[in-house]
Amino acid sequence: MNQKLEETRSILKKYGQEHLLNHYDALSEENQKKLLNQIETVDFELVETLYNSTKKEEKNTEDKITPIDYLDKYKLNGQYKYYENLGKKAIKEGKLAAVTMAGGQGTRLGHNAPKGTYDIGLDSHKSLFELLSDNLKEEGKKYGVTVPWFIMTSKENNKTTQEFFEKHKYFGYQKNKNLFFFIQSELPMVDTEGKILIGEDGLIKQAADGHGGIYEALVKNGMTKKMKEMGVKWVFIGGVDNCLVKMVDPVLMGIAIDKSVTVACKSVVKANPKEKVGVFCKRNGKPNVIEYSEITDEMAEAIDENGELLYGESHILCNLFSVEAIERMGETPLPYHIAYKKASYLDKDGKLVVPDSPNAYKFEAFLFDAFGAVDEMAVLRVKREEEFAPVKNADSAGVDCPKTARELYKKFYHLN
Ligand code: UTP
């Protein structure tokens, strides 16, 4: 062990992170081992590069942004039935799986447990996980199948998530038969000086690597392999926090099949040009999403010959991929974006510091940065009131909060 400790010290010295061993002696033997293993696996080069990037402007103004074509689900006329039938056939053949990304921290909502366990205040008091599972089971029944469900968790919330599912008898699903959990990767958090934070447990403080970690996590954890063994060809990937998410959509699938694209995404039209959402676009000729912080006022307000916003198709994290596309995306590293967050840590004297304002950088990959890996993808505009009721903020924010989601949910399902 001493030799390992010495080797570790020299790695840390090279990267100016020697403080990580400051509390080593006070740790249990088990945590000492864990810490040394963590240090062995952390990519310090990457952490250094990411920290250095916090000092640079992130915007890439050189990119050529152009509008992307889309279809409107309710203006498909005669084609609607054709696409629907194509999709229905594939679903009946068991070719669809659903993935729910539930590895986020849900900091804006402020719920002290995984976001999927949140009760949005319906009379039934069902959690987001249960609302999603209800819809998935109901839709599967229409086609005589149980759509396999894959849940991505983080190291931080995996145990509580799985315990919650167990307590609720997996909502009728069978673990490891048609319900699978897998954990996304993490990256260390660093302070404003580039020093990696030490968490309350004396170990390196890590945070989930963003929803863009989904592709690598699906591949690395053997989920895509499992999907293929099950005969799955198409995978719907959505967030845990949209209580109206429709994971089974034969029209979306039919379009992907008919157009021979490997990615098909749903959009809702922007509520107004200033709405703070990312919108679909082409970036240097490839499908992408432009974020609200990146789009100019002029672009945000530009309209086409029909009076529709040129950049009006909001990305709502409702995307369908072929299993092969996921595998390809899982092999391609994505850029990391920087978030400045509040993170508690142990200071040099071993005292826990709980900051009341942001103090540390977190690095996250975004799912849509992988879209550029394909030449073409389909974008299908759906109705906001039918498919998008996100729970992002606490009620005090007044938007995308439990109250607004609950109202949309009740309206859609005609509940009182
Ligand atoms: P958000 O980007 O809205 O993040 O995630 P969040 O963690 O839920 O909330 P804030 O930003 O901390 O308030 C959109 C979806 O992506 C998942 C979330 O669980 C949610 O379903 N996600 C996000 C992950 O699975 N992993 C991540 O690392 C980040």
Comparing CA positions, the residue from 72, 67, 70, 73 lying closest to residue 311 is 67
Q: How far apart are CA 319 and CA 249, in angstroms?
A: 11
Same domain membership, residue 46 and residue 79:
yes
- Paired with 101 in beta bridges are 152, 239
Same domain membership, residue 79 and residue 217:
yes
* b/e burial code for range 129-158 (CB count within 10 A of at least 16 → b): bbbbbbbbbebbeebebbbbbbbbbbebbb
H-helix or E-strand containing 256?
helix 250-258
Confidence band for 4, pLDDT divided at 50, 70 and 90: confident
* Contact in structure between 192 and 359 (CB atoms under 8 Å): yes
Same domain membership, residue 116 and residue 147:
yes
Interval between CA 107 and ligand 1 midpoint (Å): 9
Interval between CA 208 and ligand 1 midpoint (Å): 9
Q: What's the chain's length in residues? A: 416
Same domain membership, residue 80 and residue 22:
no
Same domain membership, residue 179 and residue 142:
yes
Closest ligand 1 atom to 108 CA: 13
Is it the case that residue 59 has pLDDT exceeding 70? no
pLDDT digit string, tens, across residues 175-207:
999 999 999 999 999 999 999 999 999 999 999
DSSP characters for 139-164?
HHHHTT----EEEEE-TTTHHHHHHH
**Structural domains counted in the chain:** 2
Interval between CA 211 and ligand 1 midpoint (Å): 6
Domain extent, residue 26, equals 1-41
Is it the case that residue 137 has pLDDT exceeding 70? yes
Q: How far, in Å, are 82, 147, 163, 407 from residue 135 at the CA level?
A: 24, 11, 21, 17
Question: Using N-to-C axis directions, what is the helix angle for 250-258 and 79-92, rounded to 10°?
Answer: 100
Closest ligand 1 atom to 100 CA: 21
Closest residue by CA, ligand 1 atom 4: 104
Interval between CA 334 and ligand 1 midpoint (Å): 17
Same domain membership, residue 29 and residue 171:
no
Same domain membership, residue 104 and residue 10:
no
Is it the case that residue 338 has pLDDT exceeding 60? yes
Please count the CA atoms within 13 angstroms of the CA of 126 that sit on its side-chain side: 14
Same domain membership, residue 62 and residue 29:
no
Closest ligand 1 atom to 101 CA: 25
Same domain membership, residue 102 and residue 26:
no
Same domain membership, residue 52 and residue 12:
no
| Average pLDDT, integer, range 230-245 | 98
Q: Which residues contact 258 (CB under 8 A, 6 or more apart)?
A: 82, 83, 86
pLDDT digit string, tens, across residues 114-124:
999 999 999 99
Same domain membership, residue 59 and residue 16:
no
Helices of type H across 345-401: 384-387
pLDDT digit string, tens, across residues 205-235:
999 999 999 999 999 999 999 999 999 999 9
Helices of type H across 56-96: 79-92
Closest ligand 1 atom to 209 CA: 28
Closest ligand 1 atom to 152 CA: 25
pLDDT digit string, tens, across residues 343-399:
999 999 999 999 999 999 999 999 999 999 999 999 999 999 999 999 999 999 999
pLDDT score for 60: 60
Same domain membership, residue 137 and residue 18:
no
* Contact in structure between 251 and 380 (CB atoms under 8 Å): yes
Q: How far apart are CA 182 and CA 180, in angstroms?
A: 7
Confidence band for 171, pLDDT divided at 50, 70 and 90: very high
Average pLDDT, the chain: 96
Ligand 1 neighbours by CB, cut-off 6 Å: 101-108, 115, 152, 184, 208-211, 213, 239-241, 317, 392
CATH code, domain with 373? 3.90.550.10
Interval between CA 56 and ligand 1 midpoint (Å): 25
Better-scored residue on pLDDT, 175 or 105: 175
Interval between CA 301 and ligand 1 midpoint (Å): 28
